[in-house]
Copies of this chain bind each other. A is one copy, B any other.
Amino acid sequence: MVPSPDTHPPLRVAVLGCGVVGTEVVRRLVTDGDELAARVGARLELVGIGVRDADVERDPVVDRALLTTDATSLVEKADVVVEVMGGIEPARTLLLHAVAHGAGVVTANKALLAQDGPTLYAAADAAGVDLYYEAAVAGAIPIVRPVREQLAGDTVQRVLGIVNGTTNYVLDTMTTQGLGLDEVVAEAQRLGYAEADPTADVEGYDAAAKAAILASLAFHTRVGLDDVDRTGITGLSADDVAWAARTGHVLKLLAVAERATGQDGTAGVLVRVQPVLVTADHPLASVRGAFNAVFVEAEAAGELMFYGRGAGGAPTSSAVLGDLVQVARHRVLGGKGPVESSYAALPVLPAGDARSRYQVRLEVADRPGVLAAVAGALADQGVSVEAVRQTTALDADGRPVATLVITTHTATERAVRATVDVVDALDAVHRVVQVLPVL
Contact = CB atoms under 8 A, between A and B. Distances in A.
Contacts of A242: none
Copies of this chain, count: 2
Given A302-B308, A324-B153, A333 B334 contact: no
Contact of A317 (B300, B309, B339): B300
Interface in A331-346: 333-336, 338-339, 341, 343-344
Given A145-B145, A149-B326, A303 B298 contact: no
A140 B320 contact: no
A151 B322 contact: yes
Contacts of A24: 300
A152 B325 contact: yes
3 interchain residue pairs of minimum CB distance: A335-B335, A153-B321, A301-B318
Interface stretch (A34-42, A208-216, A223-231, A269-277): A34-42
B154 A150 contact: no
A306 B304 CA distance: 7
Nearest to A125: B1
A28 B145 contact: no
A335 B335 CA distance: 3
A299 B32 CA distance: 11
A2 B340 CA distance: 9
A330 interface: yes
A153 B318 contact: yes
A162 to B, nearest CB: 13
A119 to B, nearest CB: 16
Contacts of A1: 125, 339
A324 B154 CA distance: 11
Contact of A153 (B220, B315, B320, B333): B320
Nearest to A312: B302
A304 to B, nearest CB: 4
Interface in A90-129: 125
Nearest to A29: B153
A220 to B, nearest CB: 7
Contact of A315 (B155, B302, B317, B323): B302
Nearest to A286: B286
A335 B338 contact: no
A188 interface: no
A154 B330 CA distance: 18
A142 interface: yes
Given A39-B341, A305-B307, A335-B336, A300 B314 contact: yes
A104 B31 CA distance: 36
A248 interface: no
Contact of A307 (B142, B304, B315, B325): B304
Given A152-B325, A306-B306, A315 B335 contact: no
